[in-house]
Amino acid sequence: MEVFESMESRGHEQVVFSNDPITGLKAIIAIHDTTLGPALGGCRMWNYKKESDALKDVLRLSKGMTYKAAVAGLDLGGGKSVIIGDSKTMKNEYLFRSFGRFVQGLGGRYITAEDVGTSVSDMEWVRRETKYVTGISRALGGSGDPSPVTALGTFMGMKACVNKVFGSDSLKDRKIAIQGIGHVGAHLVELLHKAGAKLYISDIDEEKLKPVAKKYRCKVVNNDKIYELDVDIFAPCAMGGIINDETIPKLKCAIIAGAANNQLEKEKKHGKDLLDLGILYAPDYVINAGGLINVYNELQGYNRERALTQAEDIYQILTEVLNSAEREGVPTPIASNRYAEERIKGIRSLKKTFIGERKLNIERRKITEANPEKR
Ligand code: NAD
C-alpha cells in the first residue's frame, strides 16, 4: 500500500506512525482535514492482521469524522487513531500514557476519545499525559457516556424523517423496529416509548431484551426477522454493514433511521437501491452525531443542556439534507456528503480571504512606512 498515494486520494493532511518499544505501543494517528478545527476522533484498539489493514482503517475512519463534524456544524476537523494490539490482553497504563504522549506531541492538531476496544478508563490514563482527550468521566470534568445524547439526536432525526414521509413529526402509534438494545438502543427505546410509538426490538443478547421489553412494552423479535417487519421505521442500532444485497430485498419499512455506524455495506450502491425502492434512509453519520456533539461540548467546558440542545438540532440538519437529496434526485448519503464538502469549501475560502486580506494590509503598511509622504 503506497502511503502518500492513499493519503492523497482521500485528501489526508497528516499521518503519524508512533512506535514505543518500551511499552509495545504501535499506533497510527490520521489527521484528515483541519479546515474547520482540530481533528477529533476516537482511538480504536484492534488486533489487525496486517499493518496495511490498520492504515486502511484509520484513513477511512478519519475521513468519516471530517464529514460527520462538518454536517453537525461543529468547529472540528476529522481524525482517528488506531492502536495495533489485542484489547483484551495488551491494555495497561504504560501503553495508554505512551499513546497520550504522542497525542500531546501533535500540540492539539488531533484530539482523541474512546472507540471500539478502548474505554473511559483508558482515556483517563491518556489524560495524564495530554489535555487533548475527550470522553472522560463526568467525575473528572468530562462528558461521560455519550449514548443518551446519541439517542436523543437519533430520536430527533427519526421525527425529521417521519415528517418528510408522512407530513407530521409525531411518533405516536408509529411502528418502529430497533435492532440492538445496547447503550444507545436502550435510551432510544425509552424516548420512543414516551412518544407513544409501538416498538419491536431484537438483540443477539437475549438477557438485554427481557427487562427493556417488560418496562417499555416492546415486542421481542427474532434477530433474523427484524428486517421483514412491516413497520414505519427500521432503526439499526447494533452493527455496521447490515443494509446489504441480502437484507435489502427483505425490507418492508418506509424509513431506515438508526444510530449504528456505516449501516450501508456499499454506500453508493445500497444508497441508490434504497432510493429506487422508495425507502428513506437517514445517513448514519448525520443522525448519530449526538455522541460527537457531546464530546465537542467537553472541549468548551461541559454543559449538559447545551449538548442536548445541539443534539436536537439534528432534526433541522437532517431535514435540510433530505430536502436537498429530493431536490437533486440523489441518494441521501450523496446529499449529506455534498452538504459536508460545501461547508468545508466555504470555510476554507473564507479563511483564504482573511489570510489574503491580512497579507495585503501588511504589504500596504510596508509601502506607507517606506514612503511616509504617501500617508
Ligand atoms: P453497544 O455495544 O452498547 O450495543 C450494541 C448492541 O447490539 C448490544 O446489545 C449487542 O448485543 C447488540 N448486537 C450486536 N450484534 C448484533 C446483531 N448482529 N444483531 C442484533 N444485535 C446485535 O453499542 P452502542 O454504544 O449502543 O452503539 C450502537 C451503535 O451505534 C454502534 O454501531 C456504534 O458504533 C454506534 N454509535 C454509538 C454512539 C454512542 O454514543 N454510543 C455514537 C455514534 C454511533
Residue 374: pLDDT over 70:
no
Task: Report the amino acid identity of residue 287.
Answer: I
Confidence of residue 80 (pLDDT cuts 50, 70, 90): very high
Q: What is the pLDDT of residues 255-283, one digit of tens each?
A: 999 999 999 999 999 999 999 999 999 99
Counting from 1 in the atom list of ligand 1, the atom nearest the Cα of 202 is: 20
Looking at the structure, do residues 323 and 357 belong to the same domain, yes or no?
Answer: no
Looking at residue 138, its pLDDT comes to 86
Total tally of structural domains belonging to the chain: 3
Looking at the structure, do residues 329 and 362 belong to the same domain, yes or no?
Answer: no
Looking at the structure, do residues 151 and 135 belong to the same domain, yes or no?
Answer: no
Print the domain residue range for 235.
Answer: 147-335
Looking at residue 372, its pLDDT comes to 66
In a domain, 102, yes or no: yes
* Atom 17 (ligand 1) nearest CA: 204
Looking at the structure, do residues 157 and 133 belong to the same domain, yes or no?
Answer: no
SS3 175: strand
Distance 237 CA to ligand 1 centre (A): 5
Could you tell me the pTM of the whole model? 0.90
* Atom 1 (ligand 1) nearest CA: 182
**Who lines ligand 1 at CB under 6 A?**
146-147, 150, 179-185, 202-205, 208, 223, 237-240, 259-261, 288, 291
Distance 183 CA to ligand 1 centre (A): 7
* Atom 39 (ligand 1) nearest CA: 147
In a domain, 340, yes or no: no
Looking at the structure, do residues 151 and 33 belong to the same domain, yes or no?
Answer: no
Q: Which of 145, 105, 149 is nearest to 129 (CA)?
A: 105
Q: Which of 28, 26, 55, 258 is nearest to 161 (CA)?
A: 258
Looking at the structure, do residues 365 and 310 belong to the same domain, yes or no?
Answer: no
Counting from 1 in the atom list of ligand 1, the atom nearest the Cα of 186 is: 26
Q: What are the cell numbers at 171?
A: 411518533
CA-to-CA distance for 31 and 79, rounded, in angstroms?
4
Looking at residue 156, its pLDDT comes to 98
Distance 147 CA to ligand 1 centre (A): 10
Looking at the structure, do residues 167 and 210 belong to the same domain, yes or no?
Answer: yes
Q: What is the pLDDT of residues 228-256, one digit of tens each?
A: 999 999 999 999 999 999 999 999 999 99
Distance 37 CA to ligand 1 centre (A): 28
Looking at the structure, do residues 234 and 109 belong to the same domain, yes or no?
Answer: no
* Atom 20 (ligand 1) nearest CA: 203
CA-to-CA distance for 135 and 138, rounded, in angstroms?
9
Where among 122, 140, 158 does a domain terminate?
A: 140
Which is more confident, 135 or 100? 100
Looking at the structure, do residues 310 and 354 belong to the same domain, yes or no?
Answer: no
Looking at residue 375, its pLDDT comes to 52
Dmax over CA atoms of the chain, in Å, equals 86
Looking at the structure, do residues 160 and 259 belong to the same domain, yes or no?
Answer: yes
Looking at residue 55, its pLDDT comes to 96
Distance 364 CA to ligand 1 centre (A): 58
Q: Which residue from 61, 87, 147 has its CB within 8 A of the most atoms of ligand 1, so it is best to mutate?
A: 147
The average confidence (pLDDT) of the chain is 94
Counting from 1 in the atom list of ligand 1, the atom nearest the Cα of 181 is: 9
Looking at residue 256, its pLDDT comes to 98
Q: What is the CATH number of the domain that holds 247?
A: 3.40.50.720
In a domain, 341, yes or no: no
Neighbouring CB atoms inside 10 A of 258's CB total: 29
CA-to-CA distance for 73 and 140, rounded, in angstroms?
27
Q: What is the pLDDT of residues 285-302, one digit of tens each?
A: 999 999 999 999 999 889
Catalytic positions, written as ranges: 80
* Atom 33 (ligand 1) nearest CA: 260
Q: What is the pLDDT of residues 309-364, one digit of tens each?
A: 999 999 999 999 999 999 999 999 999 999 999 999 999 988 777 677 777 777 77
CA-to-CA distance for 49 and 36, rounded, in angstroms?
34
Q: What is the pLDDT of residues 155-203, one digit of tens each?
A: 999 999 999 999 999 999 999 999 999 999 999 999 999 999 999 999 9
Neighbouring CB atoms inside 10 A of 170's CB total: 13
Looking at the structure, do residues 249 and 113 belong to the same domain, yes or no?
Answer: no
In a domain, 17, yes or no: yes
Looking at the structure, do residues 325 and 205 belong to the same domain, yes or no?
Answer: yes
Counting from 1 in the atom list of ligand 1, the atom nearest the Cα of 236 is: 29
Q: What is the CATH number of the domain that holds 41?
A: 3.40.50.10860
In a domain, 234, yes or no: yes
SS3 179: strand
Distance 367 CA to ligand 1 centre (A): 62
Q: Which residue from 149, 239, 246, 296 has its CB within 8 A of the most atoms of ligand 1, so it is best to mutate?
A: 239
Distance 54 CA to ligand 1 centre (A): 22
Counting from 1 in the atom list of ligand 1, the atom nearest the Cα of 289 is: 43
Where among 123, 140, 157 does a domain terminate?
A: 140
Looking at residue 365, its pLDDT comes to 79
Counting from 1 in the atom list of ligand 1, the atom nearest the Cα of 261 is: 32
Residue 371: pLDDT over 60:
yes
* Atom 11 (ligand 1) nearest CA: 205
Question: Contact, 311 vs 301, CB < 8 A?
Answer: no
Q: Which residues contact 10 (CB under 8 A, 6 or more apart)?
A: 32, 59, 60, 63
Q: What are the cell numbers at 347?
A: 470555510
In a domain, 48, yes or no: yes
